[in-house]
Amino acid sequence: MKLASQRYEQIKEAIAEFLEDYDVKKIPVDVFELARKMHIKIVFASEILERHPKKVDEYLLFSFPNSYLYYDPETQKFIIFVDDVGTRRKRQRFSLAHELVHIILGHTEKMKKMKPRLILEQLIYWHQHLLH
**CATH code of the domain covering residue 64:** 1.10.10
Domain range for 118 is 5-131
pLDDT digits (tens, 9 = 90+) for 90-111: 999 988 988 888 888 777 776 6
User: In a 3-state reduction of DSSP, which class is residue 43?
Assistant: strand
More confident residue, 105 or 44: 44
Partner residues linked to 68 by β-bridges: 81
pLDDT digits (tens, 9 = 90+) for 117-130: 554 454 444 444 33
Distance CA 61, CA 104 (A): 33
Contact yes or no for 126/81 (Cβ under 8 A): yes
pTM of the model: 0.72
Count: domains in the chain: 1
Distance CA 57, CA 118 (A): 28
